[in-house]
Amino acid sequence: MSEGTFFEDLEVGQKASFGKTITEADIVLFAAVTGDTNPMHLNAEYARDTIFKERIAHGMLAAGLITKVLGTQLPGPGTIYLSQSLKFRAPVRIGQTVTATVEVVALHPDKHRATLRTVCTVAGQPVLEGEAFVSVPSRAMRHAAAAE
């Protein structure tokens, strides 16, 4: 398992991404885990009569890909979410590949925190945009804890 990036090693402009094709199973499992059984996501007949004309993925399913990047890539393991803003721009359909990208936009050294721009795209077009505020492990704190 990777240690991730310590706060001291972060730089404004650093980016990381993860892409995933959204499947029928993803939508069904997300509905089961969250209890969000909105027919827009699960019932093709219902969805045909909506503005999208077909089922769409839960918006938070796409947003959940951001947590994969934050928790495993940048900053990585040990990162703690403090807040996340989201603006949904377009629907995600079954079979589309969503790419979640995070970019460090500000560092707050006093408490080892970072602000990151968060964007999910499909075919290069944003489907959601936002900003994450996270607590990032520091090398100094990790070494101090290991010494105890």
Q: Hunting for tokens 């398992």 — which residue is that? A: 1
Strand partners for 100: 18, 120
Per-residue pLDDT band at 139 (split at 50, 70, 90)? confident
Mean pLDDT of 8-36: 97
Number of domains in the chain: 1
Mean pLDDT in residue range 131-146: 79
Q: Please report whether residue 47 resides in a domain.
A: no
pLDDT at 2: 54
Mean pLDDT, to the nearest integer, of 83-106?
Answer: 98
Residue 1 is assigned to a structural domain of this protein: no
Q: What is the CATH number of the domain that holds 100?
A: 3.10.129.10
> How many residues are given for the chain?
148
The overall average pLDDT reported for the chain is 93
Q: Which residue has the higher pLDDT, 61 or 147?
A: 61
Residue 53 in any domain: the answer is no
Strands in the chain per DSSP E: 15-21, 80-88, 97-108, 113-122, 125-135
Q: In percent, how much of the chain has pLDDT > 70?
A: 93
**Does position 1 have pLDDT exceeding 70, yes or no?**
no
DSSP string, 69-100: HHHHTSS-TT-EEEEEEEEE-S---TTPEEEE
Q: Which amino acid is at 6?
A: F
Q: How confident is the model at residue 84 (pLDDT cuts 50, 70, 90)?
A: very high
List the domain range (segments joined by +) for residue 83.
7-22+59-147
